[in-house]
Structure 1
Amino acid sequence: MRYLVLAILFVTFFTACNSKEESDKAKKTSVKKEPIVKEYGFTFNDFKVVRDTIRSGDTFSKLLEKFPLKDSLRIHDVTEKVKDSFNLRRIKAGKPYILFLDKKKPNTLKALVYIEDRISYTVVDFRDSIAVFNKKKPTTVKRRVVAAEIEGSLSETLTNAGVSAALGNKLASIYAYTVDFFKIQKGDKFAVTINERYIEDSIYVGVESIEASYFEHKGKKIFAFPYKISEEQKKSDYYDENGKGLKSMFLKAPLDYFRISSRFSGRRFHPVQMRFKAHNGTDYAAPHGTPIKTTASGIVERTGYTSGNGNYVKVRHSSTYATQYLHMSKILVRNGQRVTQGQVIGKVGSTGLATGPHVCYRFWKNGVQVDPLRQKLPNAEPLNASQKKKYLAHITPLKKELDSITAIKFKE
């Protein structure tokens, strides 16, 4: 009996010890460690962190006024020291920023991060000496081919295909002269080879560039490949599978927003000279200072001033075509300068014989002034034999890839 009692006591003691150990273990495992957060070059756990957004009227100085700086630094001295590295005027309402404060002295500012966009940011560090760092988050680019048939709108179709809907604007720009995107319909098809940018290999930023594309509208297949004729060319032009430019050689007008106040005419009453005479141009009325764009690429042949034309620019586009822009308030190009389609060459004014702000747009074909609104204008200048050979070699693997994808996707 004595041995039985001792055995029971031993078992009870051992069980109680195990229960206590398990209870202690459970308590330890139930205490969760604070996750380590690292971003913008800081370990957030080491600071008191305040996230906020720039409000209307905020300045860099106002942000610093909220918290004292170490060693009694004066705000004026700080702004003077950082202004060469950090353009303080670019601080805009709506942009986020982060304040890193001392944990022991929660009102003492250690660093400020101004977030320009999802990738770019500026760090103003007050911990040692004042230092400014303009940085970018590490990014990667991934390539893929997307093919889809239009269901609903283009943006819906892109979203359903797992692509940024913003790609629709890029495609609309590429095919602006060949496809009416207001009239695309169910059953139209497209395929596009794109490069997409990711932050730290996982956070999607958007479409970086387009390598090749194909659009089928009302049964018509249109390929588009970006290509630069020379290394000096800043932007690529788009050509089809045969090397024909997709873009019209000329813009429809030299202004983005305008009202045609007077058309090309063989007999028009001149409002200043008070008599009937030929009007060999098209007048586009617009507010004073409106940007005037060259309607096609070319060489500035002449700039100057005459009593009738006021400030003017004439651009030679080819051996066949030239254009002239009259009554400018300001000329922004010089003789002999190469200009690209859509480049701003001056501002709307009323210099010379003009009753109000407008640009008189004149158009030459084979040395004769004609009405541009009645012309069947050509596409962009075609590639010459040497350029075309290089171009076709460049696009061959890209087109082969698109053909393979579309054959599988659309079962051609």
Structure 2
Amino acid sequence: MGSLKKIVVWILISSSLFGAKVTLGHWEKGKTFSEYLDSKEISKEILSDISKADIQFLSEIEGDQLFYELKDHNGTLEQALIPIGEEMQIRLAKEHNSDVYSFDIIPIEYKEKEYGATVTIETNLYTDVTNALYHPSLADKIGQLFKGTVNTKKFQKGDKVSFIYSQKTRMGQPHTMPYVKIALLESRKKRQFIYADEDGYGYKSTKKSQAYTVTGKEKVTYTRRVPVKSTSSRFGMPLRHVRITSSFSHRRYHPILKRYRPHHGTDFGARRGTPLLAVNSGKVSFSGRMRGYGKVVKIKHSGGYESLYAHQSRIRVKRGEHVKKGQIIGYVGSTGRSTGPHLHFGLKKNGRWIDPMRVLRKTSIKDTVLKKITEYKDVTKTKYKKVVIKNAKENEEKLLAYLKEKSTPFIWEGYEQMSIGVEDGKTDQAL
């Protein structure tokens, strides 16, 4: 392949180029690349050799995206450039002296240039920048720069806003959003520079606060209720709220039998369904009905103790089950010989009934105590430091130099001129 001579020509969109015409179009929302090929009567065989990665690119064409077409004098497509994102584009090109098209994914080539402008406020910042420079996106970025630093609603007629910005262009058209580097507000004989960081946000100083994270250990002190030592040897109460209705006695008048007989236990008054608690850890030795006691649970504890919970409405544990102190084993009821809902609680020591209240600890004698605990926990904190805005002073000098030169700002209206590179015999290289 011999050497190729590159010819640079300047044309206008929709003007002729060696009998060909360049047009700027908008990609229809929802339109696929296959549908585009059909509209140009191009064979889909071109897609057969496309890699999976490139097929993924085809699905990333955005709706309303600007794209370029080069057509001959008969309207036949010679070449198309369809952007996919900001950096890459699809190039569809008709091979020289052939009806065959080639497909490729290539980088978007663009130029970047720096501009300066001064706008006098007549109506408002956005309207005046747009009317003066015919660049609405630039007006948006100027507004972003001032947001949070200067209240643009307080601008007065005659105030001046000067700024330096850079703009990427593709084939003579603005490509991506402009980047405003610095602005100067002149109002009521006062001047205020607004410096832009790399994200386009403005600051009145050449320094800005930057967040950073710090990790380390933090001392944390708090109180927690912890069990008292040797609680296993202590008996708690079978109910959370204690109300004794009948005490342990060797001779008590029975309200149902109407005669005196021993009362080997303590009766606690409570509503039906009130949870019953194991007074200590142990193993369930009985779970079921027991004559006049109705539904009963018996638990064997260490030290030769055995507790009994009678007249239950519903039992929650089974024989042979191990229970912990304070665990719910059933619910208050009135089964068996009973005048109403209550718990008859009995306690044996080595097989003999004893007065439960000599062993049970009332709720005032707590099984837990508050303990002060100190721990060191991993923490991540956000802190702030002042950092110098990149190129802040340099951009200030550029803006002052621009104002001194009193240059005419670049107007984007009708800016459709573009540089087109064409290589002899290879129109597929560029429009």
TM-score using structure 1 length: 0.41
Structure with greater proportional strand content:
2
TM-score using structure 2 length: 0.40
Higher gyration radius (CA): 2
Structure with greater proportional helix content:
1
